A = this chain, B = another copy of it.
Amino acid sequence: MDRKKKEVTIYDIAEKLNVSAATVSRALRNHPAVSAKTKKRINDLAESFGYQTNQFARNLRQQQTKTIGVIVPRLNSYFMATVISGIEHVANEAGYNLLISQSSELPDRENAIAKTMFNNRVDGVLVSLSYLTGSLQHFNRFSQKNIPVIFFDRTFETEIYTNIRINNLQAGYDATKHLLEKGCRRILHVSVSSTHSIYQERFKGYAKALQEFGIPLHMDYVHLGDLSLEAGIRAAQYALELPQRPDGIFVANDNCAAGCIIALKKAGIRIPEDIAIVGFNDDPVCRIVEPNLTTIHYPGYEMGKIAAHNLINQLSGSESLILTQTISLRSDLIVRQALN
């Protein structure tokens, strides 16, 4: 390894200044039990030496890494970028680093990432699950060592971890009710075949709204795909092939809704006059697609901040008992498709 030069250590500084390494160590961390004068001498020399603390030695000694692992299904959505910004904001302030990885919606990748992060001794983990993750057992390794794991957005029913999400039932209800109030009576619900309750909750909200309006629930009016833009195009085809064409569609994701709109318009359907559409997330695409998409605003940035806060609290808390809970954030309907 001839590439790396020798590092400057606290011993080098100590020797030069005729103090002990312990004092240097303390001074560098601004420990109160060091005189202002020595602190200054030490810090000045450290600066001029270009000294950098060796995090490994520190980690090894302190048994903690000041690193938080973040596992998300995909990095390429506006929503995720927003959540991560929120996480970064809080983590940086508290002096934590982030180790970010994407599972690409692959449960196996998710497992591999969890293992890697575990081996790298992250202090805690923030996770949004892939669609098809069927169990949480790959996170057992963390819980066994009392390493906190918090799930956000794509969560899974659990007793032992904290979940942070929005009230998906309410959101699904609001979205569907909006369509009903606009006069829609045959509402298609486009979602994903996922193991996560959040999609089931959105469906329940949909069902609840229908029920309130005395409209029977038909499973023909529930179409499952992968919520991609392409899936939206397929959903549109499905909608048009239905014996009774829908007059409203509630899509569980904006990009998918955009695909839907495009395909429907290509088929000569007028939006929202013939079919009104509501999406989910409040992605920038809502303002690009025409007509602009009515959607559920999802507080991604806040979710990220809250998730990080919560995790860091658990980390710094003296409590050995981790209190698990479900935190629910508010989400609101944003109306954009003017009808009538």
A-to-B contact residues, CB < 8 Å? 1-5, 50, 52-57, 59-60, 63-65, 74-78, 80-82, 84-85, 88, 92, 97-102, 104, 112, 116, 118-121, 141, 144-146, 229, 255, 258-259, 262, 284-285, 287-290, 320
Contact = CB atoms under 8 A, between A and B. Distances in A.
A312 to B, nearest CB: 13
- Count copies of this chain in the complex: 2
A1 B119 contact: no
Contacts of A52: 118-119
B99 A1 contact: no
B121 A101 contact: no
A265 to B, nearest CB: 8
B287 A229 contact: yes
Given A77-B81, A258-B288, 8 more contacts: A3-B146, A4-B146, A5-B145, A53-B119, A56-B121, A75-B80, A100-B101, A262-B287
Contacts of A120: 55, 97
Contacts of A75: 75, 80-81, 84-85
Contacts of A55: 119-121
Contacts of A77: 76, 81
A11 to B, nearest CB: 15
A56 to B, nearest CB: 4
A102 B98 CA distance: 11
Nearest to A99: B99
A98 B97 contact: no
Nearest 7 CB-CB pairs, A to B?
A76-B81, A56-B60, A100-B100, A56-B59, A75-B81, A56-B56, A3-B146
A92 B116 CA distance: 10
A82 B76 CA distance: 7
Contacts of A59: 56
Nearest to A319: B3
A82 to B, nearest CB: 7
Nearest to A258: B288
